[in-house]
Structure 1
Amino acid sequence: MADFYELLGVSRGASADEIKKAYRKRARELHPDANPDDAEAEAQFKEVARAYQVLSDDQQRQRYDQFGEAGVGGGQSGEDMFGGGLGDIFDAFFSGGGGARQRGPSGPPRGQDLEIVADLTLEQAVFGDQVSVDLKLPVRCDDCDGSGAGEGTKPVSCSDCGGSGQVQRVRQSLLGQMVTASSCGRCGGVGEVIATPCSACRGQGRVTVDKTYQVDVPAGVDTGSTLRLTGRGAAGPRRGGNGDLYVHLRVAPHERYERDGNDIVTDVGISIAQASLGTSLTLETLDGDEALVVPAGTQPGREFVLRQRGVPNLHGRGRGDLIARIRVDVPTRLTDDEVALLISYAEGRGEVVGNGKEGLFSRIKSAFS
């Protein structure tokens, strides 16, 4: 992967606001909705998102500046190579005692990210709307306020790690005495254990409930668009942070309109007489009724474009167009008088009609001779 600063187009001394502005610009340019079926743009979009994730976090940015991707999980980091991290290496060489630095507990884990699909009508996708999504998810337990401890009790310090959340191991190497640290297995790195679990959540600090969220859907979305609701995912155990909720959108087919990018296409049926002589119609659009003048001699498949009556641009300004495509409907049932008129019309133009056999047309023609 390229340098994170180069991916965003900023200098290494860029401020947080400069990084945010650069990310938004690059994300708009590379977003999959703006580059359909472009695998390279999608890959770059993911790289830019990863770069922003790291550089927008002060601690991760500092590690990246020092160690590159290895310092933020992009490869084997200093902590992976040396167990307790580079700080423990310095302690081992210069502290005289070969001891590792004491660290605070890593804390309870963050909750899971969740996904759900929300169904929309075409009108909701075009104009935006607020929709409800229902799901089951873990939330913080009210009985213990997320601590996991039973009524009248509280978590106690873990005896295995002494409340640090880490256990240390000393080993001898060619370089001397080395100290490595890892997450405590008994408390899971939290530094505390539950002696008397809460009866409602069984010590987890969270319970699963039915939840309804109101989701603001912006104008211009389409099937495949995804909305991220930060902090609306599952609650972490023992007061751990919440994950995120990803809402995948699915737009139902419309009985009259078909979407083509930001344009909307609709078929308008007219008769042979209307196509030949012209007509004026009232066209129903998503914005209301519009007058449509069809000139004489209009051929099937001709398209009339109504500007700015389509789908709003999700990542910019303006709207697509509404395209009214003419369809000439040929009658399948005719009265005797209508058949006679068509035969007379065809003869006047020197056209051959019928199937060439004695049948309805010939019998009607004889009747009017």
Structure 2
Amino acid sequence: MGAADLRNAVPPARVGSFFGFVGVTVVLAVGLTAAPLVALPGDLAALPDAFWIMAALAVVCDARPFVPPGQRHTSAVFPSICFTFAILVAWGLGEAVAVQTAAVVVSGWRLRYVAWRTAFNAAQYACALTAAEEVLQLGPGTAFADDRLPWTGAVALAGAALAWFVVSYGLVSMAVRLRFGDPWWPTVRRGLAFESLATGSLLLLAPVLVAAARVSAALIPLVLVPLFAVYRMARLSADQEHLAALDPLTGLPNRKALLVEVAEQIRQHAERGAEGKPDAHLALLLIDLDRFKNVNDALGHEVGDRLLVAVSERLTSALGSWDMVARLGGDEFAVVSAGLTGVDDARRVAGRVVRALAEPVSLDGLPLDVGGRSASRSTPTTARISPP
């Protein structure tokens, strides 16, 4: 299963509740924004150049969103948020929702999202913009009065940005919970720091963009410089978090990532068991390479490192997309395999591991026979599997 398929997949047991929530969100968004969108065609002719520049930049920038690596529960960073929030502040809800929807369609095509995911993202942003608009209406009427931003306007903008974030992140967190079955609070907490930093920075750039547009529309493209800085900041933050969970030699998840995954899988298993829900088994396979020390001693650590990389590639190729292959350190690897029906499935996974290591690894024409031993622990039954 490819990366795009994994992003668009929904577990069969969760299809009903998940798509029910998606449908309700879309219907709610349509109901909240129908009136301003219907009135929008009559207002288009009066919109200034600044609006069209912001709209074009929103769509163009979302053609290259930033997707954090290795984070299943964290959404991509969409630069259009900055421009559409500024459009909301300067011109109103209908204009902002229309531009945001166009940007979502472009980013959905770019990321190869299926129709339901693009529709949900558009609805999510429409609801968030509506919440922000309601908060702005509680302020002085317009954030910028006589080309100045009074303290009351600044407070209204901050409140609107907070409302936007709470609604958007809340909808995404609920969708993730229904899609993957995770508890509410861990789902919210998992990506909160990253989302707050990235999305908050984009939202707070919007008032600067509005102020620049009031001086001259020619100043609007200059916001691309701080926007690029936000993009780089989000990328560096996500990359650091991602690299901290990877083995630097093989690129596989490391011991820390393995422990997090096992703890999460066991917690989900226990929760479903306590609720009396049917559940699949989880298997943890520990793999120890044979004769690896002999290779290191005879041929050197450089050859040993190349051998470990080759072994990691074999293990990854032999197992499924939903299985996690991790390197614990030295010549020790581990596999977490979820969704099994019992011990026999765990034995079959272990068999694939043993067969993958049975053939010698050829490095520079030299066959290296290391083989491997594996032991497996599955929930709720324990078994040990050894090579034949």
Q: TM-score, normalised by structure 1?
A: 0.20
Q: TM-score, normalised by structure 2?
A: 0.20
Report the structure, 1 or 2, having the larger helix content: 2
Report the structure, 1 or 2, having the larger strand content: 1
